[in-house]
Structure 1
Amino acid sequence: MRKCFFLFTLLVFLIFEVSAQLKTYKGQVIDAQNKEPIAFANIVYSQGAGTVTDIDGKFEIRTNVKVTQLSVSCLGYEPQIYLVNDLDGKNKILLKPQEYSLPTVDVLPVENPALIVMRQVVDKKDQHNPENYNPYSCILYHKMTLDFEWPNGLNEEEIREIKDSLGVNNDSYLFLFESVSEKKHWKKGVGKEKVISGRVSGLKDPILASFPAMLQPFSFYEQYIKLLGFSYLNPASKPGLSTYHFVLEDTYGSSDGDSIYYISYRPKKDKNFRGLTGAFHIDGKSKAIRTVSATTAGTENGMRLFVRQKYQAISNGLWFPKQLESSLQFGGIGAARRLPFPMVGTGKSYVTAINTSPDISAKEFDNVIMEDISSTKSSQEISAFRYEPLTARDSLTYHILDSIGRKNHLDALIKTQMSFVKGYLPMGKLQLDLSKLIDYNDYEGLKLGAGIYTSPSLSENFTTGGYYTYGFGDKASKYGAKLSVTPFAKKDSRIYLEYKDDVYATGTYEFMDGVKNLSSERFSRFLTETMDLSQGWATGVDFRFLKFFKAGVFYVNQDIAPQVAYKFMESDIVANGFSMQEAGIKLRWANKEMFISSPLGLISKGTSWPTVWFNASKGQWKDDETLGYSRIESRIHKQFNYANSMYTTVRLEGGYMSGDYPSTLLYSTLGSYKSFTLLVPYTFGTMRMNEFAASEFAALYFSHGIPLSLNTDNRIKPEIVLSTNIALGNAPNGVSTFDKGYYESGIYLKNLFSNFIFQYGLSVHYRYGAYHLPESMDNWAFKLGLEFVF
């Protein structure tokens, strides 16, 4: 008993003695010019022992060794040595940004030590990637500010004068976002992040609260890091090992006695790919990423993104993100209109409440990976989740902007802008369909009209209304009405009933969600020369099933009246009118396609798998007698992306009709030729409008893109796109078809000029093979490329 008491007393004494000798040194490293914290700066304090600042530039050293000086360094800053006794009372360490740098010449040994470490990181990345972990959950607190970035050299008084001239309060931010999200993960590829609370300065409704959560990825282990809508090759990947240049900047010991490798990286000069620059802190024992900082090596549409992530080791050798930071810098809007100074959005996220044994099940997950419910009545106040209290500047920002928001009705303005993006102008319980106001095609000419429908403010579960348009080319009126019910909005489903007295392009066919809203494929409607009049009604149901399938079942009953003679027919006689009924199904399969549920609706994150469409229908029509037919159409689309940022796009498409069918149904809209017009992807640019038709056909659209000037700040980043299109078809006697094979190839110089909305380019295509035209110039097609920036 005495021995036990003696040992216990000795143990307590030793612990007390060690604790008494253990000293704590705290501080913060900040930028000497803009006074912003510097994340992931190196702090070496004793014989190679060191630590790293966190995302707020703060550090803490606990050691029983007396510390007399701190060696502080970070990429992009001049290294400094600080005597502990010389630090001010706030323990602020100032680092000066490097104002210039000489061309880097790295003299490396035969085997680059940094590359050796990075190979080990890549070999073990699967075991450190949170995407591969068993079920887990966590809470993330996001905070983002928006403000001007002032030029270096301006003092506080000069900045205050500039802000006063711009009407900006000197002591607040331009904008402030806060949100909290709950992240749940089941297995690789199956997870969801739900924004459960939020606040946006100037707005009562936190409708934009999810924006900071979407700005950067949760971890840095995938082969491609998606930023600003582009895919950047990760330096910590197998292709990245050969395309990036790595330098071992420093090695020091951590507080637990392990080594930490500080490795910088940048794209190799002889490699053309969309890359990043920055640095890693690598854990010496596990070869896991402790911290990573990454900056887009070039700008995209005038924007540059900075990303920083810090990881923490938890039980069972797992590493989780602890702190995330992102900064978005942009300085121009449009080609002529620019901001007076660059603007920077700076966001920080803190990961808390990590649970590696959560009570969740696979039933909680679907193909929506992010959902914002912060605007619902069930959401809690953001104050219940704040990781840290608001600063005085934060509180002032809320006070000023909330007052401005109430006075100027910013909530209504934001919602109006979002309706514009969807194509509608809200008018209380109604909304105006902007697409019906003005339009054009070569058959109807200029079209003017109006469409009025009920708005979501009346009901989010149904909409009804109608439209009227008048074509000045065909001098005819058209109109229609529609009722659409969405009983399960989150399931992307609807039941519809519609009536139309309108024209449609001859020989067309459509797939379920086959064309994106802002795709230049929609420009094909401008070129339409041949149309038929349709009077009748249609009904159907669209719905999702088995997670990655979407289907539509439809029935159409209409009277068709051809308006002009079809160019693909040998006869110049206008076909007789007839009545027609058709029923069918449309399917779309996009395996592993994920969505973000936002105030703008479901936004697709895409898929690396091929997307497949399939239509099947049966119909009958009556002219002198009742005749029946069947038809099917299919499409497969896939884009292959490469480490050097080149890409190959392949689309296979075809259709087949059997039985007795009217000539209006013959597939005749593959061409898009005009003497000089807009480029329409996935059409034959040298084939005349309705020049050919087919009752059965197959088409291949192949293109290969070569981006240029990627890792530069050039505003214009052109691409060379090489393409070849091939089609083979068959048709009954009396119909011009392409049974001998139609061939064309071309080159598209993409993004030769851009503004805030569009990118412009030029293309030329050449027609060859069996349908080569006698006049040489008739085989060439010159087009203007026009694509939306976003």
Structure 2
Amino acid sequence: MKKIIILLLSFGYLSIFSQSKIIVKNSTDQSPVINATISCNNKIAGKTDASGILIFKTKCKKVEVSANGFQDDDVVVDKVMEVFLTKADPNIKNIQTIVLEDKSDPRALEILKKVNENYKQNSPQSLDSYSFKSYEKISLDLDEDSINAYNSYIANRIDSLKRLPQRPMKAAEKKDSLESVNLMKLLGESKIFLWERASQYLYSKKYGEKINILDNKVAGIKEPIYELMAFRSNRNQIPKEIREENRNLYRFFLTDSIEIEGRQNYVIRFRQVDYKQPVKQRKFNGYLYVDKDTYALKKIESNSKIKSEGSITSIWKPVDNKWFLVKENYKLKMASATFDNDDKSDKNETKEEKEADKKNTKRFGSYAFVTADYFDFQSPIEERSADFKGYTIDVKNSDGKSIDQYRTENLTEREAATYTTIDSLSAKYKLNQRAKALTGLLKGKIRVGMVDFDLARIIGYNKYEHFRFGAGAKLNDKFNRYISPDAYFAYGIYDKDFKYGAGVDIRTTLEKNSFFRAEYFNDVMAAGRFSENLWNFRMKIMNSGVALNNNVFFGHKGFKLSYENDITNALTINVAAKRTQEESMFDYNFKGLGNQFDIASSVITLKYSPNSKNIMTPTGKYTYEQNLPELYLNYEQGYKAFGGDFNFSRFDALFVHNFKTKLGVTGLRLYGGLVTGDAPIWKNFTLNGLGNGREGLNFNLTSYLGFATMAGGKYYNDKFVGAYLTHKLPWYFKSFGKNVSSFDFIYRGTIGDMKNPEFHQFDFKKLDHLYNEVGLEWNNFLSSQFNLGFFYRVGYYNTPKFKDNFAIQFKLKLLGF
């Protein structure tokens, strides 16, 4: 097997190191640039001829292009490359400003329209099956041009420190000072961070996608970071620069055509809409190569407005008449490291002294570099169900011992030194612990040693408790890989009462999500809440404000036993049995039986998410890509036979989906519930009103299933259906800042009934007519990370007063649809 892999890689090397052709032109008039120097790592590969062309061989991923009178540029190595150099003369800026028009070339737009229309047909996923491998490398480092300057600066810095008068220092201070200097020296010799991953991708129309991690290695991290393994590119997605919904964010110009490996390609250049004047004489943000025969994307290079701030290049090639991604190269500017030549700091410095200090301050920009090579393409493949079992990502190996078998290029001296350098620093700076803490945040947890603290339990607000403060902790895999106890407590400021709970998870396997759970609780909850079983952290946070203006609460204490299992990657089941004592925290009497009852019940929950992608981690399943549609089903059955006061059945369901058309993106939530038998009001359904029910402006925060114009805690039904529709208009604009704004039309509606409202002796109304509200939501309001929505109630429940029907909503953009 090893010989086969080596043979395959040999073919890969022959492909990578074969001849390349570069064409260098003047960006102003597209004339050839003669004697342009092509180099890699300061070694000259050659110079262009009278036609601006050079044919050369190189092992480099990127080459630099320079010519007298032009600004330097670089390009990712491919079979054929075309580079447009910009004149260095500052007077050319005025000429270029005139050339740049604030509208796209209609010919370019027509080509891009066909690219989108043919994308699915050109995609590998239009095949019945395929497989390929990848080698990816992510690193954090100084820019190549800054490394020598950094090392020179550090050497001079150390010399200057040696010449300073020695002052008395404590042993700890001296040790910290020496370690600081040594750290600066080490970072001059190696990268700051390095991660390598080799993967195998399998696809079948019948069984879906499967990704096998063949090996994984991270500098300084002994244990694999499973969440990091889930990092992936846009290999199955249309690049954002040419998506139809982003069409108004760029201006496109058909500038040329070029032959690559016997195929003709359109060359389209583009720039951002706010890029009306060249920055440092850069005329365009990037370019696209589009295959003329199939309208498939051959190559895209997208740069920041300022070249030094980053670039992204992706290259595709045809295999069996489908276009596979073969190479990616990212360079993204990160934070700058700042060093002050003077050790002193004086708060009483004059303005002139502060300006002088700024001149003495050295800044070195750091960058994130990502390279990926895809190879060993095969189609069709033998489709065996066993190869697709389990979660989307399966980790075959993660100790880094076999990663060299999959490298498509040797590590540089600087990269090889990174493993030695960072590994030596790992223990001192607790890199493993810090990495685990970072991955915990993805799940709403803060990890401290063997304890995970639940962020969602720190603070909350509702109309019954007002502010609710608390803490929740769970012992993680550092304690035990199979057994995980947890506990929480909370205190309500208004009701002045403590709530608490404790439980334990017992896993049956480490291969998938499968565990038993036992728990005890004594808490309060808003009456009529829709089930959130198996919802993820983001959905629960988005719906956390649904009871913000509902003061109808009940207390519940008791115990629960449950079992959860992922039957497949798409299907999860949870079965539970519970015995609770439940009591209204408001004036209530059910059928003359009082307000406190014993409830014995069983609950079955199903979640079906066929397109979501998961990976198993030591802390459990992690959904790294939540894709729609999704379906949630809950069925609770109450029993008198087991000591309960009532026989009842409670059903609820939620279906979530979105779909894209030429008119925009439409999101849909359909949900509903039904209660049969005898059950107190809190086992029925409130209709999720978010309004405060008072005079004045109705302002609230959005929720996953809430109504902006409906008063909270006012309506209860034993049966209902509801719909939440959003439609994103295909019109995008920028006000200021970096974010792009758009508008969503929103419709929310619900209708239901209550069979015997007189059984529930407290002040409420049943909702037995269609309740409608419509709204307009401004996404990225004023280029912020918030959405601002305006809603109005229409139909049966509309009232004569405008302010009674009107509401304003705020939503954090991060929460999404």
TM bin (shorter chain): 0.7 to 0.9
CA contact (8 A) 2:333 2:367 kept: yes
Distance in 2 of aligned mates of 1:606 and 1:530? 33
Report what 2:212 is aligned to.
194
Quickly say closer, same or farther: Cα 1:44–1:605, change in 2 above 3 A.
farther
Report what 2:466 is aligned to.
445
2:587 corresponds, among 544, 565, 590, to 565
Map 1:397-546; keep pairs closer than 5 Å. 397-514=418-535, 516-517=537-538, 519-545=541-567
CA contact (8 A) 2:757 2:766 kept: no
Quickly say closer, same or farther: Cα 1:370–1:119, change in 2 above 3 A.
same
Extract unaligned runs of 5+ from structure 2: 1-17, 26-35, 76-82, 158-179, 275-283, 338-361, 693-697, 759-763
1:310 corresponds, among 312, 315, 329, to 315
2:789 corresponds, among 750, 758, 763, to 763
Partner of 1:744: helix, strand, or coil? strand
Distance in 1 of aligned mates of 2:416 and 2:87? 30
Distance in 2 of aligned mates of 1:33 and 1:124? 38
Distance in 2 of aligned mates of 1:410 and 1:770? 60
Per-residue deviation, 1:408 = 1.3
Q: Does 1:138 align with 2:138?
A: no
Query: Deviations for 1:499-525, whole angstroms, at most 9, x for unmatched residues?
Result: 212112111121443354364222335
Distance in 2 of aligned mates of 1:282 and 1:668? 54
Quickly say closer, same or farther: Cα 1:136–1:693, change in 2 above 3 A.
closer
TM-score scaled to structure 1, two decimals? 0.74
CA contact (8 A) 1:305 1:329 kept: yes
Distance in 2 of aligned mates of 1:539 and 1:413? 34
Distance in 2 of aligned mates of 1:556 and 1:720? 45
Quick one: which amino acid aligns to residue 764 of structure 1?
Answer: F
CA contact (8 A) 1:293 1:308 kept: yes
Report what 1:251 is aligned to.
258
Query: Deviations for 1:142-174, whole angstroms, at most 9, x for unmatched residues?
Result: 122223569x9x996489659999985445433
Q: Does 1:653 align with 2:655?
A: no
Report what 1:616 is aligned to.
635
Partner of 1:687: helix, strand, or coil? strand
Q: Does 1:576 align with 2:595?
A: yes
Distance in 1 of aligned mates of 2:575 and 2:791? 38
Map 1:155-194; keep pairs closer than 5 Å. 157=149, 161=153, 169-187=187-205, 190-194=208-212
Q: Does 1:102 align with 2:119?
A: no
Quick one: which amino acid aligns to residue 750 of structure 1?
Answer: N
Quickly say closer, same or farther: Cα 1:286–1:452, change in 2 above 3 A.
closer
Per-residue deviation, 1:446 = 3.0
Quick one: which amino acid aligns to residue 178 of structure 1?
Answer: E
Quickly say closer, same or farther: Cα 1:53–1:278, change in 2 above 3 A.
farther
1:705 corresponds, among 704, 721, 728, to 728
CA contact (8 A) 2:546 2:689 kept: no
CA contact (8 A) 2:560 2:578 kept: yes
Per-residue deviation, 1:562 = 0.8
Q: Does 1:591 align with 2:610?
A: yes
Quick one: which amino acid aligns to residue 789 of structure 2?
Answer: S
CA contact (8 A) 1:115 1:241 kept: no
Per-residue deviation, 1:683 = 0.6
Between 425-434 and 526-535, report the one with greater CA deviation.
425-434
CA contact (8 A) 2:612 2:623 kept: no
Quick one: which amino acid aligns to residue 635 of structure 1?
Answer: L
Report what 1:662 is aligned to.
680
Distance in 1 of aligned mates of 2:155 and 2:790? 50
1:279 corresponds, among 281, 287, 294, to 287
Quickly say closer, same or farther: Cα 1:701–1:208, change in 2 above 3 A.
closer
Partner of 1:416: helix, strand, or coil? helix
Query: Deviations for 1:421-474, whole angstroms, at most 9, x for unmatched residues?
Result: 434444544444444444332212333344343221122323123333332321
Between 710-719 and 725-734, report the one with greater CA deviation.
710-719
Q: Does 1:741 align with 2:741?
A: no
Report what 2:233 is aligned to.
216
Distance in 2 of aligned mates of 1:397 and 1:692? 63
Quick one: which amino acid aligns to residue 475 of structure 1?
Answer: K
Map 1:306-385; keep pairs closer than 5 Å. 306-312=311-317, 320-329=324-333, 343-356=366-379, 361-366=384-389, 368-372=391-395, 375=398, 380-385=401-406
Distance in 2 of aligned mates of 1:78 and 1:409? 39
Per-residue deviation, 1:291 = 3.7
CA contact (8 A) 1:637 1:651 kept: yes
Distance in 1 of aligned mates of 2:128 and 2:644? 65
Distance in 2 of aligned mates of 1:552 and 1:172? 49
2:806 corresponds, among 756, 780, 783, to 780
Quickly say closer, same or farther: Cα 1:594–1:156, change in 2 above 3 A.
closer
Query: Deviations for 1:498-555, whole angstroms, at most 9, x for unmatched residues?
Result: 1212112111121443354364222335444221111212222222335432222222
| RMSD over equivalenced CA pairs, Å | 5.2
Q: Does 1:266 align with 2:266?
A: no
Quick one: which amino acid aligns to residue 469 of structure 1?
Answer: A
CA contact (8 A) 1:511 1:586 kept: no
Q: Does 1:390 align with 2:411?
A: yes
CA contact (8 A) 1:28 1:53 kept: no
Per-residue deviation, 1:603 = 2.0
Extract unaligned runs of 5+ from structure 1: 1-22, 60-69, 81-92, 226-230, 271-275, 334-338
CA contact (8 A) 1:760 1:786 kept: yes
Distance in 1 of aligned mates of 2:448 and 2:227? 25
Report what 2:301 is aligned to.
293
Distance in 2 of aligned mates of 1:753 and 1:562? 44
Distance in 1 of aligned mates of 2:529 and 2:46? 63
Distance in 2 of aligned mates of 1:199 and 1:251? 40
Partner of 1:555: helix, strand, or coil? strand
Per-residue deviation, 1:317 = 5.9
Per-residue deviation, 1:393 = 2.2
Structure 1 or 2: more helix by fraction: 2
Distance in 1 of aligned mates of 2:402 and 2:330? 24
